[in-house]
Chains A and B, each alone.
Chain A
Amino acid sequence: GAVVSQHPSRVICKSGTSVKIECRSLDFQATTMFWYRQFPKQSLMLMATSNEGSKATYEQGVEKDKFLINHASLTLSTLTVTSAHPEDSSFYICSARNLGTAYNEQFFGPGTRLTVL
């Protein structure tokens, strides 16, 4: 089956530093990946759509200069949280769209727990 990995699985950083999270599709190519944020016991909030070879599309209210997205290859998208603050602490989840499946199914990564001190 299609597998999506995220690295790191958890990260703790100091306020003001930047953190990079990687999302990889391991056995398929993904021209489109998505980044979500999930608060404890709450739903997934779509942050942005990552498009290979072009700029990401951000959802309303998401600061593109704060959450930098780079989709440099067909198997890798990165999310960089710049100048992180405690309010950025959250669970970040990516998904990758597999156009090789019957319904262009999305496969989700395991998530990255970010804690900003």
Chain B
Amino acid sequence: AQRVTQPEKLLSVFKGAPVELKCNYSYSGSPELFWYVQYSRQRLQLLLRHISRESIKGFTADLNKGETSFHLKKPFAQEEDSAMYYCALIGSSNTGKLIFGQGTTLQVKP
């Protein structure tokens, strides 16, 4: 079964501290993995995708197939990073169906 697990509902850190939002997945093939972000009162938007290996707003995520993880990291959190973060996978590129994790609220305190 396809599943995405984000074990933390809330992660609270101080400004300037490192951040790691955990994501584990369950999928038998080779999934495409994504991180989406939803700022307060805004729509969901793509943050980054594993296939492009990019860094957006200082965030990076590395796909670890051995551990079936795709953790999101940032070395120095900023207050404007406070938002809801969703890890998601697409199991079959033909359908494009996104399977979302439960989401983690990141709270960056001043």
Residues on A facing B (Cβ under 8 Å): 32, 34, 41-46, 49, 57, 93, 95, 97, 102-106, 108-111
Contact = CB atoms under 8 A, between A and B. Distances in A.
A93 B100 CA distance: 13
B64 interface: no
A111 B97 contact: no
B43 A103 contact: no
A108 B44 CA distance: 6
Given A104-B96, A105-B46, A43 B102 contact: yes
- Chain A binding site: helix, strand, loop or mixed by DSSP? strand
B25 to A, nearest CB: 14
A56 B43 CA distance: 24
B11 interface: no
Contacts of A32: 95-96
Contacts of B101: 43
Given A42-B102, A42-B103, A103-B49, A108 B86 contact: no
B56 interface: no
Contacts of A109: 43
